[in-house]
Amino acid sequence: MPVAETFAAQQLAPRSTERSCRLVQWTPWPFPNPSLLGHCAVTFAGGWCVHQIPVFRRADGSLSVGVPNTAQLDADGRVKQRDGKRQYTAVLSFESAEGRERWQRMILVALTEAGIGG
C-alpha cells in the first residue's frame, strides 16, 4: 500500500469509542434537585463540541447522561407548558439503542476521567 493510502487508512481507523471525547466544561446545578447534578460540554475527536449535556444521579448512585434540549416556544415566544411543566425538545437523537448507549459510555468516561461523579 502506498504511503499516502496508509496514512489515510490510519486517520480513518476507528478509535476506541469510549475515549473519543473529553470534558471541556462542568457546571454543577445550583438549585436543589434530587437527580440533576449539572451540565457538561464535551469535545469529540472529530473536532465538534456538544454543550448543555445534563448529568443525573440515579437512585442507585450511578450516573447517567441525557441529551441537550431546548424549550418549546409558542407563537408569542413563550415557553409552552403542559400541566404546569415546561415542555422541551431534544436537540440530539439516536438511530438505535446502541447509539444511545455508546453516547452514554463516552460521556461517562469523559466525566470519570475529569474526576466528576465517581
Where do the structural domains in the chain lie, given as residue ranges? 3-113
Q: Which amino acid, 18?
A: E
pLDDT given for residue 10 in this prediction: 37
Alpha-carbon separation of residue 92 from 27, 69, 114 (angstroms): 20, 8, 24
Mean pLDDT, range 78-105, rounded to an integer: 94
Q: Evaluate if residue 118 carries a pLDDT over 80.
A: no
| Mean pLDDT across 63-88 | 94
pTM (predicted TM-score): 0.77
Residues 39, 24: contact at Cβ < 8 Å?
no
| Mean pLDDT for the stretch of residues 63-89 | 94
Q: How confident is the model at residue 117 (pLDDT cuts 50, 70, 90)?
A: confident
For residues 67-95, average pLDDT: 94
Please, which pLDDT band fits residue 55 given cuts at 50, 70 and 90? very high
